[in-house]
A and B are shown apart, each in its own frame.
Chain A
């Protein structure tokens, strides 16, 4: 079974600072997703990464994928309070089943 590990599990950071969330997965996968979840809400798709070396950016968030290392990163630049949420990475198998990481709970402190 595909295993997905995220770290850190909890992240408290000050506004304006930079940080990186890491996502490791155990076997090859052709797609990696990043989602955001606010408390009590559903998952919002942030990025889909399809190939080795893929990099995508949206606002203060940038995601990258290294398929050889089976590693994806979500980099946060100059954090603001609105980014406080739980972030999940997920990879898929050929049957389109998603395997989610345990999530990183991010709190941005003013």
Chain B
């Protein structure tokens, strides 16, 4: 079992470009969560998805951010028209169900220049 796989590990984007972050959950896990970690801070919840459904997106910024978890393939966190303030580590986690703990991926470190 390869664990939660995130790619890329590091991503550099110029202001105004789009960033796409990918997350493949652990085998058998149908629940995916995205968190953002700003420097020197804890993780902040962004969105919770199950296959083809967004369950809770209360932590997502209202503009430029979107997430999906299609029937086939990884979950994608998409940030359009990136700004410097989007620079952060983005972690994906998966679980087999609501009553279970998470397994975290290694994160994608986004730098906006």
Contact = CB atoms under 8 A, between A and B. Distances in A.
Contacts of A98: 33, 35, 43, 45, 102
Interface residues of B, number: 25
Interface string B8-42: 00000000000000000000000101010000011
B101 A45 contact: yes
Nearest to A48: B101
A95 B55 contact: yes
Q: Identify the interface centre among A31, A40, A96: most chain B CB within 10 Å of its CB.
A: A96
Nearest to B106: A42
Contacts of B64: none
Given A42-B91, A42-B106, A43-B104, A96 B31 contact: yes
Given A43-B91, A95-B56, A100 B44 contact: yes
A42 B105 contact: yes
Interface of B: 31, 33, 35, 41-45, 48, 55-56, 58-59, 91, 95, 98-99, 101-107, 109
